[in-house]
Structure 1
Amino acid sequence: MHSYARLASIGLAAAALVAATTSIADAADPVKYVNLGDSYSAGSGVLPLSSGINPLCAQSTKNWAHDVAATKGYQLTDVSCGGAQTKDFYAGQYPGMAPQLDAVAADTDVVTLTMGGNDNNTFISAILACGSAGIATAGQGNPCTKLYGDTFTKAINEKTYPALVKGLQAIKAKAPAAKVVISGYPWITPAKGGCFPQLPIASGDVPYLRNLQATLNSAVSRAAGATGSTYVDLSAASAGHDACQAPGVRWVEPLLFTTQFVPVHPNALGEQGMANAALAQAGL
């Protein structure tokens, strides 16, 4: 009986040693987390800005990736940059900048991003075009819908979607074991009505822009599904937090009377909301 007791004691001691060793290894080898993507991923417009990053990227220390990393204790490498397109995965966005994919390695554990909104200048072109048309009609009618029809949605489905699939496949090729999480974009406009002139979109064009954004988010979601990536759906989470809501409620700033230096982008509350959605939906 004594020999069995000694063996049991030795076994328990060995188990404790293994557990302690594993704990030490885990502490010494944190989750390697890379954040890629565009201005919604970078938190462009939210202060303070990250140091050591090209200032043209306007990358914030309060973007959703920093919020996720702080919550989970992950080791973050953030190369997100305002204005980024899928082409910037493969080539430097600005002189002296490395391609975003250079930050992803075989031992990367988690990758997050938002991407696609700048391809074909979707957001920029649509907001400026519809804003100009809305100002010309003093916020009445649906001039943007009449002028542009399905121009923007066709570009998303025919060009942005395949570019997203290619980009996500490239991420997975570099980090086969990583969890790749791509977020949709939070609502910019309400479902109807609008808030002219803060968001100078004609009332009849508000559903048009809402549908355009839904089309973009659908393309992101489909690309995630096609590549085995995880999609973060912000449709429900960001409802009622669009750019027409009051400060402290809205996640996205309007074009005029904004509280930050980059309009029509998420504020700190929006970036935190994106982080919370990612944590809840993606199993990070």
Structure 2
Amino acid sequence: MPTAPCETSTPKSLRLAAAAVALGSCLALAGPAGAADAADPVPTVFFGDSYTANFGIAPVNNQDNPRGWCFQATENYPAIATRRLADKSITLDIQSDVSCGGALVDDFWKQQGLPFGAGTLPPQQDALKDDTELVVGSMGGNTLGFSSILKQCSVKLREPSLLPGEPVDSDKPAAECRDFFEAGDGKAWLDYKFEQVEAELDQMLQRMSYFAPAAARILVGYPRLVPADTAKCQTPAPGQTELPFADIPKDALPVLDQVQKRLDDVMKKAAAEDGADFVDLYDRTGDNTACDGTNRGIGGLLENSQLELFGQPIPWYAHPNTKGRDIQAEQVAAKIETILNR
């Protein structure tokens, strides 16, 4: 494909030029792949964090090597979406699925450290090849620090747990987290983190075009966690004793939703500006939040998932359950089908 010249006339192009210098070359800015023959296998790489790996769903891939610490489900949404497409005679040739729980956006081009000193993994971009035609996955939530936001709002999550991260400011009571994030230091922290996410998503998408110049890129958003009617979150899900968001104050739930909607908007904007496609799960999962009872597509914060670690059940920590995974797979498969046939 043609290589775009490096320009320096706008702030956006300055960022592109800076990224090109870091890569040692002017980046090729790829558009989406053209129409594909559905009979031809499409070389595909899945990337991303725990929402692509589908943390919490058993069994887990690669249990006997360091990648086991990614908690990548054997039946994650990339696997389910691939089968859905195969049923329509669209074959994905999966070159790699490098999605890994805990991945930051910059783990796309840096080594990712694994928990409990289990080692490191190579940058996710290493999976891309010259002949890769499709790159799909989710990134952004960990760089934003969503675990730290949850811990800022919950006494129970501040206790020793398997959920990584620390509260944004442990000196501020969890009961005051709404006010903390709406003004002062908490708001300033959020603004900074969103700027970081936007800049790093921009670089990640450019790197995809550089290392896989023929590939269509699909950035997958995150499913909605908190419903518009937060009163639904004051009742435990069927069979559960904990509330879906545990002890997070009721008045803080709209703040969590606003943070997630803002992240969705940042991801959507990054994809649009870099010529990538976007799967907007937030807008499609308003009836499948953690507070939607039997229809919930998100496991509650302290609801036991399907996994155990060191003989102890691991909570979902607000990740998609099997229903939520199937929604992810359906929406991603539909987007891939649209791209390959346009």
**Which range moves more in the overlay, 69-78 or 255-264?**
255-264
Q: Which string of whole-angstrom CA distances, capped at 9 and with x for unpartnered residues, describes residues 186-225 of structure 1?
A: 0111122333733122111111000000011111101101
Q: Are 1:231 and 2:278 counterparts?
A: yes
Deviation, 1:26, is 8.2
TM-score by length of 1: 0.81
Decide whether aligned partners of structure 1 residues 49 and 134 sit closer, same or farther in structure 2, where only a CA change above 3 A counts: closer
Alpha carbons 2:221, 2:278 under 8 Å: kept: yes
Structure 1 counterpart of 2:44, from 12, 33, 47: 33
Deviations 1:86-125 (A, max 9, x none): 11111221335211000011100111110000004x2101
Match of 2:264 in 1: 217
Tell me the amino acid that sits aligned with residue 113 of structure 1.
Answer: G
Q: The residue matched to 2:154 in structure 1 has which SS?
A: helix
Return structure 1 stretches of 4+ with deviation > 6 angstroms: none
Return the letter of the residue paired with 1:240. D
| Unpaired runs of at least 5, structure 2 | 1-36, 86-90, 114-118, 159-173, 236-242, 307-313
Query: Where does residue 255 of structure 1 map in the other structure?
Result: 301
1:146 aligns with 2:198: no
Instruction: State how far apart, in whole Å, the 2-side matches of 1:164 and 1:113 are.
Output: 12
Which residue does the alignment assign to 2:135?
Answer: 111
More helix by share: 1
Distance in 2 (alpha carbons) for counterparts of 1:213 and 1:166: 21
Could you tell me which of 33, 47, 65 is aligned with 2:78?
65
Partners of 2:84 and 2:333 within 8 A in 1: no
Q: Is contact 1:156-1:219 (8 Å) kept?
A: no
The 1:134/1:268 distance shift into structure 2, 3 A limit, reads closer
Matched letter for residue 125 of structure 2: L
TM-score by length of 2: 0.68
For 2:292, the equivalent position in structure 1 comes to 245
Note the residue ranges of structure 1 that are not aligned, 5 or more in a row. Answer: 1-24, 136-140
Pick from 187, 196, 215 the counterpart of residue 224 of structure 2. Answer: 187
SS, match of residue 122 in structure 2: coil
**Equivalent-residue separation in structure 1 for 2:80 and 2:125 (angstroms):** 22
- Residue by residue over 1:32-89, the C-alpha shift from the partner in whole angstroms, topping out at 9 and shown as x without a partner, is 1110010001101111111366111000122111112222231221000000001111
Asked if 1:124 is matched to 2:147, the reply is yes
Alignment of 1:21-100 (within 5 A): 30-51=41-62, 54-72=67-85, 73-76=91-94, 77-94=96-113, 95-100=119-124
- Summarize the Cα distance change of 1:134–1:26 in structure 2 as closer, same or farther, 3 Å threshold: closer
Larger mean Cα displacement after TM superposition, 92-101 or 199-208: 92-101
| In 1, Cα distance between equivalents of 2:157 and 2:57 | 27
- Counterpart of 2:102, as a letter, is G
How many residue pairs end up in the alignment? 252
Aligned counterpart in structure 1 of residue 332 of structure 2, from 272, 275, 278: 278
- Describe the SS at the equivalent of 2:219: strand
Question: How much has 1:132 moved relative to structure 2?
Answer: 2.7
Specify which structure has the higher proportion of strand: 2
